Chain A
């Protein structure tokens, strides 16, 4: 390992510190606000529950609400974690001093992306731990898998956009809105171009499909939550679930690699 890589490894502590103050704390605050209403519902239900059956119902209610909340919250935590990850340094000109030093630009941002992912997971774990300690004793570990998968897929695309655009939040919103619009406007079963778009567009719908299965899969007691019972509901054991996860992961990894190529080829002041 070169000296530069070693020093960059040590710089990870500073990047983690930046994450904590600039993104971690805001993620926790947003998470606390979004979880406040479901937490209140679970607390009230728990206070009225009597008997083993009622306890099981409250447990199920908690899991259902966590799953529903994290469908949105995972997305928000990931957006907070990747927004401006590269573009902020370009917009503010911070790159000028940073990369006059013997530092590889792609390696610097790859490390930041990895650390921000760990930060997103840590923020999620803290929110779940607080929920477990203060509201109701459930800890659906599948939620962490959901955030990890959301980070890899949505975050990977966000990372790529941050290397390309100085207005990544807005660009990412346009990309996602446009892809949803095209997906709805041109369903894959109706035309060849609909099928083409289905493969080309960011697979956000897949994320929706796997959310329930992931949270359910991490908690054996939650078999009936979410979309269970509906024909489209996925189980962790379904081949379609694995397919969806791989599709999402491939998109994320592809976007991440593309981002590194952009960072390697495209001048920062361009």
Chain B
């Protein structure tokens, strides 16, 4: 459905070196799939998305949606798109913005009004519908951006940093929404810094760094495989921390009764926790120090922060 094949994008520079934003990049997302894109700042995520929308042309390689060049596909069918930057003219009100986008999306009359009202309710914009875009908070503007992306029942949806600026409640609601949007004939692409979110939402996650695809992580398979592998854990104790280093040598306090346990396999972890409990400690939580995706990400791009 969505395909980038051997794509390179070089930004020419009047002075200095041309910038290679994306290099020899190939990626394919199928109908029914939610594909995540993760990468540090400047990794090339935004360029990949601009290429998919036809807002940039590749220097080399091909980009296609359903076998057509992106602009050709979008002009015929449209896509649901939420950009990282919510660029809506600041004087438009929420209602009018949705009416305009709905009209351009191919809706009209009562169907347009009904869809607009439905999205206003779904995304909690009712108290803000008469406000101008410039009066909206970051989170409300983000929800307006999301609403315009959902105006049509599109078969391709691209969300760039969809939870940026949202509060925890709306982050959770976005995740529910993303699950509800899954459909066998729909391809969704979600670019995010939030690896936890991608782990929950995406089937596969493409990790990009330096404009190149570093690896593709199948989130479900990786989660199963992780059960048997050695990894660091975080252990929270309510009481009895004195005996911790005897059971888990190298355990490091993180504060507030939380300790990081050096990498070990699942059976060693269980045996250690059992000894700890037997020694009188009260264990309140044990969890992997990093999610599967975080580990893959760290391996792919090193220890730089995202």
A-to-B contact residues, CB < 8 Å: 3-4, 7-8, 10-11, 14, 92-105, 267-270
A94 touches B89 (CB 8 A): yes
A102 touches B77 (CB 8 A): yes
Within the assembled complex, what's the spacing in Å between the Cα atoms of A14 and B152?
20
Interface-centre pick from B71, B83, B104, B106 (highest chain A CB count, 10 A) = B104
B75 touches A102 (CB 8 A): yes
A10-B103, A92-B87, A103-B75 known; A97+B148 contact, CB < 8 A: yes
Within the assembled complex, what's the spacing in Å between the Cα atoms of A100 and B145?
12
Which residue of A94, A102, A269 contacts B55 across the interface (Cβ within 8 Å)? A269
A100 touches B74 (CB 8 A): yes
A7 touches B57 (CB 8 A): no
Interface-centre pick from A93, A96, A105 (highest chain B CB count, 10 A) = A96
Q: Could you pull out 12 A-B pairs where Cβ atoms are within 8 angstroms?
A: A7-B103, A10-B103, A11-B100, A93-B85, A94-B88, A94-B89, A96-B87, A100-B78, A101-B104, A101-B106, A105-B71, A269-B50
Query: Does any Cβ of A come within 8 Å of B56's Cβ?
Result: yes
Within the assembled complex, what's the spacing in Å between the Cα atoms of A103 and B81?
14
Within the assembled complex, what's the spacing in Å between the Cα atoms of A14 and B89?
13
Query: Does any Cβ of A come within 8 Å of B54's Cβ?
Result: yes
Within the assembled complex, what's the spacing in Å between the Cα atoms of A95 and B50?
12
A3 touches B145 (CB 8 A): no
A96 touches B103 (CB 8 A): no
Within the assembled complex, what's the spacing in Å between the Cα atoms of A192 and B60?
43
A93-B85, A103-B75 known; A267+B103 contact, CB < 8 A: no
A94-B89, A269-B50 known; A100+B81 contact, CB < 8 A: yes
Within the assembled complex, what's the spacing in Å between the Cα atoms of A268 and B158?
18
Interface-centre pick from A95, A100, A270 (highest chain B CB count, 10 A) = A100
User: Quick one: which of B77-93 are within 8 Å of A by CB?
Assistant: 77-81, 83, 85, 87-89
Expressed in whole angstroms, the minimum distance between the Cβ of B57 and any Cβ of chain A is: 5
Expressed in whole angstroms, the minimum distance between the Cβ of A92 and any Cβ of chain B is: 6
B83 touches A96 (CB 8 A): yes
A97-B88, A102-B74 known; A14+B100 contact, CB < 8 A: yes
Expressed in whole angstroms, the minimum distance between the Cβ of B117 and any Cβ of chain A is: 19
- 4 interchain residue pairs of minimum CB distance: A93-B87, A100-B81, A102-B78, A269-B55
Within the assembled complex, what's the spacing in Å between the Cα atoms of A270 and B54?
10
For B304, what are the chain A residues with a Cβ–Cβ distance below 8 Å? none
For B145, what are the chain A residues with a Cβ–Cβ distance below 8 Å? 97
A94-B89, A97-B88, A269-B50 known; A102+B105 contact, CB < 8 A: yes
For B77, what are the chain A residues with a Cβ–Cβ distance below 8 Å? 102
Expressed in whole angstroms, the minimum distance between the Cβ of B191 and any Cβ of chain A is: 14
B148 touches A7 (CB 8 A): no
For A11, what are the chain B residues with a Cβ–Cβ distance below 8 Å? 100, 103-104
Interface magnitude class on chain B: 20 to 34
Expressed in whole angstroms, the minimum distance between the Cβ of B110 and any Cβ of chain A is: 14
Within the assembled complex, what's the spacing in Å between the Cα atoms of A98 and B100?
9
For B54, what are the chain A residues with a Cβ–Cβ distance below 8 Å? 267
A100 touches B100 (CB 8 A): no
A94-B89, A267-B57, A270-B56 known; A7+B80 contact, CB < 8 A: no
Within the assembled complex, what's the spacing in Å between the Cα atoms of A94 and B55?
12
For B89, what are the chain A residues with a Cβ–Cβ distance below 8 Å? 92, 94
For A3, what are the chain B residues with a Cβ–Cβ distance below 8 Å? 106
Which residue of A4, A94, A105, A268 contacts B106 across the interface (Cβ within 8 Å)? A4
Expressed in whole angstroms, the minimum distance between the Cβ of A143 and any Cβ of chain B is: 32
Query: Does any Cβ of A come within 8 Å of B101's Cβ?
Result: yes
User: Quick one: which of B89-115 are within 8 Å of A by CB?
Assistant: 89, 100-101, 103-108
Expressed in whole angstroms, the minimum distance between the Cβ of A41 and any Cβ of chain B is: 38
User: Quick one: which of B151-208 are within 8 Å of A by CB?
Assistant: 151-152, 158
Expressed in whole angstroms, the minimum distance between the Cβ of A114 and any Cβ of chain B is: 17
For A267, what are the chain B residues with a Cβ–Cβ distance below 8 Å? 50, 54-57, 71
Expressed in whole angstroms, the minimum distance between the Cβ of B198 and any Cβ of chain A is: 22
Expressed in whole angstroms, the minimum distance between the Cβ of A219 and any Cβ of chain B is: 40
Interface-centre pick from A3, A96, A101, A269 (highest chain B CB count, 10 A) = A101
For A96, what are the chain B residues with a Cβ–Cβ distance below 8 Å? 53, 55, 81, 83, 85, 87
Expressed in whole angstroms, the minimum distance between the Cβ of B150 and any Cβ of chain A is: 12
Interface-centre pick from A11, A97, A99 (highest chain B CB count, 10 A) = A97
A100 touches B79 (CB 8 A): yes
A102 touches B57 (CB 8 A): no
Expressed in whole angstroms, the minimum distance between the Cβ of B92 and any Cβ of chain A is: 10
For B104, what are the chain A residues with a Cβ–Cβ distance below 8 Å? 7-8, 11, 98, 101-103
B76 touches A102 (CB 8 A): yes
A100 touches B53 (CB 8 A): yes
Expressed in whole angstroms, the minimum distance between the Cβ of A267 and any Cβ of chain B is: 5
Expressed in whole angstroms, the minimum distance between the Cβ of A248 and any Cβ of chain B is: 33
For B106, what are the chain A residues with a Cβ–Cβ distance below 8 Å? 3-4, 7, 101-102
